[in-house]
Amino acid sequence: MKIVRVVDLSHPITAETQVYPGDPVPHIEQHSTIERDGFNLMSISMGSQSGTHVDAPFHFDHDTKRIDELPLPLFVGPATVLDCGQLAPRQAITAELLGAQLNKVQTGDIVLFKTLWSQHYGTDEYFNNPYIDAALVRDLLDRGVLTFGLDAINIDETPDDEHPGVGFPVHHLIANAGGVICENLTNLEAIYFDRPVVSLLPMKFIGIDGAPVRAVAMEVES
Ligand SMILES: [Zn+2]
């Protein structure tokens, strides 16, 4: 096996990283300097789900698994990228919309929804994200998919003043199944090859709801 290409699917983490409304913004400052200490070292603070990250079931349910308790195979493996086409703000992504592409999904796949909403990253429009229809997620869970990712801030519709009661139905469905969600992916359009091997491995924080990831898609030749 040979890895012939690695595509970065992650947003940069800086003070400008666009976070979910109300979440902590990353803060990075110099802790040690070469001049004073002989080496450079930074102090970092950020939300557990700021930037490209994975959610554990504990995000929405006290009694379920935390990020360190999940089996690592959930975060790395072959993926199917589903092309959602041109989407309107707050459009539901349904089985009808995806059509025959869904036949490509294999049991145990990581499924990535290519919404291209990452083009709105850094603007208010990013919060009017399209979202995944609960019936479609139920069907994929039934087919043995436990890892879901997308290039938008939220797999569910994002509440705001005009849409206050939209809830988190897909987060709950995936949490109840012991699955994981990766949000704020980017650059999914650069995966032009079939069956990428995707890595969404979280940092090994203990006992928490989620963690930042350096998400990549690899083209592999056997
Ligand atoms: Zn989430």
Q: What's the confidence (pLDDT) of residue 210?
A: 97
Render pLDDT for 43-70 as a digit per residue (tens, 0 to 9).
999 999 999 999 999 999 889 999 999 9
**Distance in angstroms between the alpha carbons of the first and the last residue of the chain:** 4
Q: What's the confidence (pLDDT) of residue 15?
A: 96
- 222 Cα–ligand 1 center, Å: 34
Identify the three-state secondary structure at position 93. Answer: strand
The full set of domain ranges for the chain reads: 2-17+47-221
In the CATH scheme, what is the code of domain 2-17+47-221? 3.50.30.50
Q: What's the confidence (pLDDT) of residue 3?
A: 97
- 155 Cα–ligand 1 center, Å: 6
- 4 Cα–ligand 1 center, Å: 31
- 132 Cα–ligand 1 center, Å: 12
Q: What's the confidence (pLDDT) of residue 156?
A: 98
- 173 Cα–ligand 1 center, Å: 12
Q: What's the confidence (pLDDT) of residue 24?
A: 95
- In this prediction the pTM is 0.96
Ranges under pLDDT 70 in the chain? none
Share above pLDDT 90 across residues of the chain, in percent, rounded to a whole number: 97
- 184 Cα–ligand 1 center, Å: 9
As a whole number of angstroms, the distance between CA 58 and CA 131 comes to 21
- 36 Cα–ligand 1 center, Å: 41
- 195 Cα–ligand 1 center, Å: 25
Q: What's the confidence (pLDDT) of residue 222?
A: 84
- 41 Cα–ligand 1 center, Å: 30
